[in-house]
Amino acid sequence: MKKSLYTILIGLIILSLAACSPAAAALTTTTTTVESGEAASAQASTTDPASPAASAEAAQQVTLAETHDDPADTIWDSTDVIQVFLNGSGIDTDAAGVEVNGSTLTIRAAGTYRLSGTLDDGQVIVNTDDEETVRLILDNASLHSSTSAPLYIQNAQKTVIILAENSQNTISDGSEYVFESAEEDEPNAALFSKADLTIAGSGSLTVTASYNDGIASKDGLILESGTITVQAVDDGIRGKDYLVIKDANITISAQGDGLKADNEEDASKGYILIQDGAFKITSNGDAVTAQSSLRILGGDFNITTSQLAEAALSAEETPSTKGLKSAADLTIEDGTFYLQTSDDALHSNANLVVNGGVFAIAAGDDAMHADTTLTINAGEINVTESYEGLESAVITINDGTIQITASDDGINVAGGMDGSGMTPGANPGRPQRPAGGPGALPADGQQPAQGQVFADTFNYSGSYYLYIHGGTITVDAQGDGLDANGAIEMTGGLVIVNGPTEQMNGALDYDGEFNITGGQLVAAGSAGMVQAPSASSSLNSVLIFFDTTLPAGTLIHIQDSTGQSVLDFTPTKQLQSLVFTSPALAQGETYTLFSGGSVSGETANGITQGGTYTPGEEVASFSIASAVTTVGSVENRPMR
């Protein structure tokens, strides 16, 4: 269905990101293809001059700042280690480079310090002008402060925290901090650093933040290894300039965002790079959010986001509760993702590229959304719940296995402002979707009130396209199955649509042309808004209207004049129409349509192959004389 009641066109923003260091591998993104360290996408069709691949506008490249990563950070001479013993309310050490004032330890010199024991209510501060690294080995250390950050990196060139082997370390703070003046607001995390910070080692660290954030660095933050657990009343782990995770086991429960990089002043910063690791994140904000780019090379992700308490909903701006979010490009190379979100599961304000990975998604809004382009080159994507499955101004599917269940459109190519951002009523505590059909105006004909809509906008000023070049795509949609506020081009792959049952939507819905030159399409649904591929297509299609509504599970069989099956399809929903496009439909050939009966063979996604058909009821016989052949009467179908 068409939801773009008015159009706001924003200039095309195409950002490509390339890293300058080993920790942030090179990444270059264009409108339709992505080449990165491990994978390169297939080329999109350039037959139409308006296609992104044919655009004369070159993709802008943005170079990411180098990280502070250095292999020497985790290497030290054990004979140089300075011992610091935490004894409840006191601190014991004979080191020359430190100051002890009651329960406050201030480290004034670079070096390697081993902290062990318990500090009941005190603070460890790093404050040095030395250009060398300060290395803190936490060896069964427990730090607590009721009035400030228990571990505060106030000034240093770089600080490295080592979690000693087999050690269990804790950091916790109170719910109120005491500052020297009313103008001050730092530190504001239980582990707070004003300098570059690295956390490594094989031990564990548990952070309980009752005041604000759990772990925060105002510069760069690298999590190299270790088991890190954070519970925070605001954000879990935050690196302002960048957050790089090499391989860590991370568990976060946050009332704000989970993982975050948020430098808004420098476009080359504010990025997140995740190379590997295991992540369990529960947040009332975004689970992972980057002010610029977000790139994931691998890892296991278990993510749940939920709406804030009802008191917070009184605010004019409803909080964002997305799974993986970036203000620039979002790129997934590999990984396993279980995403249960009350907003979009994957969201990019620019380009979203999936080069691989296994996804299980239940989303309150879009499963995957990109303002500019969404490209899927590989992967297994299973969307069990969404408002819309895939949404962008330009969507390119080159390969992959994609299964989508959507309460509105399955795949939506939209421009301007789109109503798909409305909050689904199924989410407890969220504003309710106004009464009316999916994507329609409220029953009273008025626009939703302020706060009821997450309006999706698209940073794109070209033509809107859905490109399908390969893969297996299965859609179950209550709205339109494939919805393009522009054109559709299909050159390969298998597309199966179990479309809408009500008349104001269609299994296929497009404004321009639907040119199909390869692959196979099966689209079942209602008859009120039905469309077939365009007559300019080189593959032949048949558009079938049934005299009565066939119930779900009714076998649809089409065979050629020799009795060979060209289609055995069992829809999961009732249907009034069927669109079938296949290389097996030949000009001049006669075919017979059956409903019911049974078929043996292997069935996948409703398509049965390699079996024997036991006839049901013969519906019609038809010959292919043109690119689109209509079977059945359209006179009594509901008006479009």
- Per-residue pLDDT band for 66 (boundaries 50, 70, 90) equals confident
Strand, coil or helix: 275 = coil
* Domain-located, residue 533: yes
* Domain-located, residue 525: yes
Q: How far apart are CA 475 and CA 605, in angstroms?
A: 10
Q: How far apart are CA 476 and CA 275, in angstroms?
A: 34
* Contact residues for 203 (Cβ-Cβ < 8 A; gap 6+): 138, 139, 163, 164, 165, 166, 167, 168, 169, 226, 227
Q: Is 632 left (phi over 0), alpha (psi -120 to 50) or beta?
A: left
* Domain-located, residue 613: yes
* Domain-located, residue 271: no
CA angle 634, 639, 640 (to 5 degrees): 100
Strand, coil or helix: 429 = coil
Q: How far apart are CA 227 and CA 202, in angstroms?
A: 7
* Contact residues for 181 (Cβ-Cβ < 8 A; gap 6+): none
Instruction: For residue 438, give both structure tokens.
Output: 């999916």
- Per-residue pLDDT band for 529 (boundaries 50, 70, 90) equals confident
Q: For residue 438, which of 493, 477, 397 has the smallest C-alpha distance?
A: 477
What number is the average pLDDT over the span 237-255? 97
Instruction: Specify the pLDDT at position 14.
Output: 31
Q: Is 493 left (phi over 0), alpha (psi -120 to 50) or beta?
A: left
What number is the average pLDDT over the span 37-53? 33
The answer on pLDDT for 311 being more than 90 is no
- Say what percent of the chain tops pLDDT 90: 74
pLDDT (tens digit per residue) in 472-528:
999 999 999 999 999 999 999 999 999 898 888 999 999 999 999 999 999 999 998
What are the CA-CA distances from residue 20 to residues 71, 357, 500 (Å)?
16, 25, 48
What number is the average pLDDT over the span 533-553? 96
CB 306 within 8 A of CB 284: yes
The length of the chain in residues reads 640
Domain count, the chain: 2
Sign, Cα dihedral of 356, 357, 361, 365? negative
* Domain-located, residue 368: no
Q: DSSP secondary-structure letter at 442?
A: P
The answer on pLDDT for 264 being more than 80 is yes
Average pLDDT, the chain: 84
CA angle 7, 30, 412 (to 5 degrees): 40
Q: For residue 607, which of 483, 507, 498 has the smallest C-alpha distance?
A: 498
What are the CA-CA distances from residue 516 to residues 150, 306, 482, 512 (Å)?
63, 41, 14, 13
In this structure, the number of other CB atoms found within 10 A of the CB of residue 154 comes to 17
The answer on pLDDT for 12 being more than 70 is no
The residue type of 451 is: G
- Per-residue pLDDT band for 95 (boundaries 50, 70, 90) equals confident
Last residue of a domain, one of 190, 219, 240: 240
Last residue of a domain, one of 190, 216, 240: 240
Instruction: Specify the pLDDT at position 94.
Output: 86
DSSP secondary structure string for all residues of 136-177: EEEEEEEEEESSS-SEEEEE-SEEEEEE-TT-EEEEEE-S--
Instruction: Specify the pLDDT at position 460.
Output: 57
Q: How far apart are CA 314 and CA 517, in angstroms?
A: 52
The answer on pLDDT for 48 being more than 90 is no
**Residues forming beta bridges with residue 203, ordered by sequence position:** none
Choose between 636 and 620: higher pLDDT.
620
Instruction: Report the CATH number that the domain containing residue 561 is assigned in CATH.
Output: 2.60.40
User: 123-127 and 158-163 as β-strands: parallel, antiparallel, unpaired?
Assistant: unpaired
Strand, coil or helix: 419 = helix
User: How many Cα atoms within 13 Å fall on the side-chain side of residue 472?
Assistant: 8
The answer on pLDDT for 33 being more than 50 is no
Choose between 441 and 198: higher pLDDT.
198
Q: How far apart are CA 346 and CA 638, in angstroms?
A: 37
Q: How far apart are CA 57 and CA 75, in angstroms?
A: 47
Q: What are phi and psi of 54, to 5 degrees?
A: -95, 0
DSSP E strands, 491-539: 494-498, 508-510, 514-516, 520-525
**Global pTM value:** 0.83
Query: Which of 29-38, 170-179, 338-347, 417-426 is the least confident region?
Result: 29-38
Residue the block writes with tokens 């689904």: 424
CA angle 119, 124, 128 (to 5 degrees): 160
- Per-residue pLDDT band for 233 (boundaries 50, 70, 90) equals very high
Structural domain for 574, as ranges:
513-631
Instruction: Specify the pLDDT at position 436.
Output: 34
Last residue of a domain, one of 217, 240, 263: 240
* Domain-located, residue 565: yes
Instruction: Specify the pLDDT at position 343.
Output: 95
Instruction: Specify the pLDDT at position 458.
Output: 58
- Per-residue pLDDT band for 184 (boundaries 50, 70, 90) equals confident
Instruction: Catalogue the long-range contacts made by 233-237 (C-beta closer than 8 Å, 24 or more residues apart).
Output: 233/175, 233/209, 234/209, 235/260, 235/285, 236/260, 236/281, 236/283, 237/213
* Domain-located, residue 401: no
Q: For residue 73, which of 150, 129, 149, 156 has the smallest C-alpha distance?
A: 156
User: 602-604 and 213-217 as β-strands: parallel, antiparallel, unpaired?
Assistant: unpaired
pLDDT (tens digit per residue) in 419-463:
443 333 333 333 233 333 333 323 333 333 333 334 465 555 568
What number is the average pLDDT over the span 74-103? 94
* Domain-located, residue 545: yes
In this structure, the number of other CB atoms found within 10 A of the CB of residue 186 comes to 16
Instruction: Specify the pLDDT at position 92.
Output: 94
CA angle 543, 549, 551 (to 5 degrees): 110
Which of 58-67, 238-247, 408-417, 420-429 holds the top average pLDDT? 238-247
**Residues forming beta bridges with residue 197, ordered by sequence position:** 159, 221
Choose between 638 and 561: higher pLDDT.
561
Strand, coil or helix: 80 = helix
